[in-house]
Amino acid sequence: MSNTSSLPPDAPPSRKPRGPWYSTLYVQVLIAICIGILIGRFFPHAGIALKPLGDVFVALIRMMIAPVIFCVVVQGIASVGDLKTVGRVGVKALGYFEVVSTLALITGILVAIIVHPGSGLNLDPRSLDPKTIANYVGRAKDTGIVPFLVGIVPRTFVDAFAGGDVLQVLLVSILTGFSISRLGALGERIARAIGVLTKVVFGIIRIIVKAAPLGALGGIAFTVGSYGFGSLSSLAKLIGTFYLTSIVFVVVILGSIAALTGFSIFRFIAYIKDELLIVLGTSSSETVLPDMMQKLERLGVSRSIVGLVFPTGYSFNTDGTNIYLTLAVIFLAQATNTHLALGQIVGILLFAMIASKGASGVTGTGFVTLAAILTAVPSIPIQSLAILVGIDKFMSECRALTNVIGNGVATIVVSRWEGELDTVKLRDTMANPAESGDVPTL
């Protein structure tokens, strides 16, 4: 693995003068989120009508995810050209993902047992409409390790890009990268051509990101306008518990991992604040995948590691989703006065470890996986899932935020394990993002 990390092709000069405060992306997104909340609260119909703004922005970003992953991974592997190195990075990443994801699942269980967020609700599942969750239960049947593994392989080479499945694109990119690395001089010319294409791809992303404030405004206005703050009152304890648990997980567990790696989790969060605000506004971690990959490279992580680890984490390292899964299952058991023995709780943990991977790539993964877990625990009435439908949108924002932070930390950790990370540059870049060009302006 190379000890030098190449910056993205569109990286700006080392120093960039600050513009007016209102020209900074995170300020504009923050203002847009505040405006969206006000519109959704006081003009709910107008907030709902703004939904296309968020949808279009998310669609534009998703349109570029496959080209970004392909270009970055192919160029990274072609430059390394070593199957053993790539395999070693993959094994280290998967090992990290499994350990930290399991810690997230255990954290959700422990907090639910200690806090008892569902106690006192005395929910009668027979009073709930089963039609509300019929769609999720139907899709839950498609989860599992075998369908997941089969789904990684696209029907055709082009279908991987048409479908936009991250793991399918990653598989095609890895195979292409290895093929190019074995073509000698011809492979070098192809790699240079892909480098030019990468410049074009990131140029398009720079244009799309300019619309981030509008996307955040539309997304948050629709959420507040559709569900309102009233829908939060009856389940406020669960929402508060989930958000607090996620914060503790990020600060304590991810913070400890970051400290051992040589950086501060708080500095890292400040460094990616633009992306976190976009995630908050759109409730989607996919909207920041290209920008996060660029920022991780600027920290000194090589392009090949960023391309292999960060996108893979979207399927294998969903810390926020894992916390939600076990916390929600225990909550529903408490809400329906269902007693769970220790063996059943361990069974929930083991099944969640499998289901959280097997449902990757399924639309509405968090809720679908939750339905799959409940079908495997028949003592908890699956109809009880209906009470979470109305608040899932609010929960998804916290899940996405935690997932993005977790995958960013994972990428840096694997880079450190490979012995290629310059911790001095890492800390300096986080402390002075403006000097490395990480303060986007419009």
The domain tally of the chain equals 1
Report pLDDT digits (tens) over 229-252: 655 555 778 888 999 999 999 999
Residue 297 near residue 5, CB atoms below 8 Å: yes
Cα 308 to Cα 174, 304, 314: the distances in Å are 9, 6, 11
Q: Quick check: is 164 in a domain?
A: yes
Distance between CA atoms of residues 177 and 137, nearest Å: 39
Mean per-residue pLDDT, 31-60: 88
Q: Quick check: is 15 in a domain?
A: no
Q: Quick check: is 400 in a domain?
A: yes
Q: Quick check: is 11 in a domain?
A: no
Report pLDDT digits (tens) over 31-45: 888 898 889 888 889
pLDDT of 359 higher than 50: no
Beta bridge partners of 373: none
Q: Quick check: is 10 in a domain?
A: no
- Helix/strand/coil for 24: strand
Residue 315 near residue 152, CB atoms below 8 Å: no
Nearest to 370 by CA among 395, 403, 341: 395
Burial call 65-100: b when 16+ CB within 10 Å, e when fewer: bbbbbbbbbbbbbbbbeeeebbeebeebbeebbeeb
Report pLDDT digits (tens) over 141-155: 555 566 667 778 888
pLDDT of residue 3: 44
Q: Quick check: is 160 in a domain?
A: yes
Q: Quick check: is 1 in a domain?
A: no
pLDDT of residue 414: 94
Distance between CA atoms of residues 239 and 395, nearest Å: 7
Give the distance from CA 221 to its chain's centroid: 22
Report pLDDT digits (tens) over 404-427: 999 999 999 999 999 888 888 888
Q: pTM for the complete prediction?
A: 0.77
Residue owning tokens 């399927």: 315
Q: Which of 11-15, 230-234, 325-329 shows the highest mean pLDDT?
A: 325-329
Mean per-residue pLDDT, 436-442: 47
Q: Quick check: is 441 in a domain?
A: no
Cα 378 to Cα 134, 329, 370, 371, 374: the distances in Å are 16, 12, 13, 11, 7
Beta bridge partners of 24: 441
Domain CATH number, residue 44:
1.10.3860.10
Q: State which residues form the domain around 112.
A: 21-436
Distance between CA atoms of residues 81 and 217, nearest Å: 44
Length of the chain: 442
